[in-house]
Amino acid sequence: MYEYATYKGGLMNLKNRDFLKLLDYTPDEIRYLLDLAHDFKKKKKEGVEHEYLKGKNIVLLFEKTSTRTRCAFEVAGYDLGMNVTFLDPGSSQMGKKESIEDTARVLCRMYDGIEYRGFSQSIVESLADASSVPVWNGLTNEFHPTQMLADLMTIEEHFKKLKGLNFVFMGDGRNNVANSLMVACAKMGLNYTCCSPKDLWPEKELVDTCRIIAEENGCTVTLTDNVKLGTLNQDIVYTDVWVSMGEPEEVWEKRINLLRKFQVNKKVIDNMNPNAIFLHCLPSFHDLNTEIGRSIHDKFGLDEMEVSDEVFESNKSKVFEEAENRMHTIKAVIYATLKD
Parallel, antiparallel or unpaired: strands 277-280 and 191-195: unpaired
* DSSP run (H or E) holding 221: strand 221-224
When asked if residue 68 is in the footprint of ligand CP (CB under 6 A), the reply is: yes
Identify whether 240 is a catalytic site residue.
yes
Q: Which is nearer to ligand CP, 69 or 191 (CB)?
A: 69
Output the smallest distance, CB 172 to ligand NVA, in A: 7
When asked if residue 139 is in the footprint of ligand CP (CB under 6 A), the reply is: yes
Convert residues 79-108 into a mask of x (bound to ligand NVA by CB under 6 A) and - (unbound).
------------------------------
Strand order through the sheet with 236-239: 221-224, 191-195, 166-170, 236-239, 277-280
Among residues 240, 255, 280, 328, which one is catalytic?
240
Identify whether 326 is a catalytic site residue.
yes
> Contacts with ligand CP: how many residues (CB under 6 A)?
8
DSSP 305: -
Query: Among the candidate windows 10-18, 87-95, 116-124, 169-177, which touches ligand NVA by CB under 6 A?
Result: 169-177
Q: What are phi and psi of 62, to 5 degrees?
A: -120, 115
User: What are the distances in angstroms from CA 138 to CA 59, 98, 241, 245?
Assistant: 12, 20, 17, 13
Looking at residues 212 to 251 of the shown chain, list those that interact with ligand NVA (rule: CB under 6 A). 240-241, 244-245
Identify whether 68 is a catalytic site residue.
no
Residue type, 92: S
3-state helix, strand, coil in the chain (%, to 5): 45, 15, 40
Q: Which is nearer to ligand NVA, 219 or 241 (CB)?
A: 241
Tally of residues, the chain: 340
Contacted by 67, from ligand NVA, ligand CP, none: CB < 5 to 8 Å by type: ligand CP
Output the smallest distance, CB 182 to ligand CP, in A: 17
**What residues are labeled active site?**
117, 144, 147, 240, 281, 326
